[in-house]
Structure 1
């Protein structure tokens, strides 16, 4: 049995998350961006107190079960932040902003971007460009 929830599974998180938190606004913007990409399906894995994972799939999910994982790190609800991870071979990182994480996504090498209060102002836009890139590859 899968523990994945529909997108509405995020409702408890969003209801409890301060509307003026910078990471919340970035999360909502990334969620909405993903939802607008053609053929993208979104699911949620909720682990309150640990993380809330937004998983996006496109194309054949048997090849790879997702093309991006947007995690809300929830160990400190007063200071939540985002970790947005891609398979390393699905994106470029021309400005080398992401962290390379060996076997960091489903046992494969990953490239992850953190969005928190200290993130550069254009980080959200930079990550959206990576979302588009990964989606194009996943959708084939």
Structure 2
């Protein structure tokens, strides 16, 4: 899977919104021996990086999605939407968009990154850690 994502990153040359570096940072944040990852590319529409729990603690479901990173194709350039199930993350600064039934039929929070923003990027990375912990130990 990693080779496929690296090939995608190599092909991703035009980056007018300058979000490619954050996508690479997200990829690194999600790489973990305890995670399974899938990458699905829909040419001309989007690409999705899906992180799942491989070895859950305390009875959580193996293979359960905890983070979905969509690279959205747009006429003005690609942008990122980083999504989580609503019951796996908090959003104390209300930076996300609540999407009722929008994440594989469940409520989700999506954080859209349309340009470099170090504060938002750090906030999203904190949500990844939060979701990983909650899915790995609590969510069933």
SS of 1:44's equivalent in the other structure is: strand
Q: Does the 8 Å CA contact 1:70/1:84 hold for their aligned counterparts?
A: yes
Instruction: Quote the residue 1:42 is aligned against.
Output: 37
Which portions of structure 1, spanning 4 or more consecutive aligned residues, are displaced by more than 4 angstroms?
A: none
Is 1:92 matched with 2:90?
yes
1:19 offset after TM fit, Å?
7.5
Q: Normalization by structure 2: what TM-score?
A: 0.84
1:131 corresponds to which of 115, 125, 128 = 128
Equivalences, count: 130
Q: Does the 8 Å CA contact 1:53/1:72 hold for their aligned counterparts?
A: yes
Q: Normalization by structure 1: what TM-score?
A: 0.84
Q: Distance in 2 between matches of 1:74 and 1:83?
A: 11
The gaps in structure 1 that reach 5 residues or longer are: 1-5
The gaps in structure 2 that reach 5 residues or longer are: none
Q: Does the 8 Å CA contact 1:19/1:25 hold for their aligned counterparts?
A: no
Worse overlay, 23-32 or 7-16: 7-16
CA-based RMSD of the aligned residues comes to 1.9
**Higher relative contact order at CA 8 Å, sep ≥6: structure 1 or structure 2?**
2
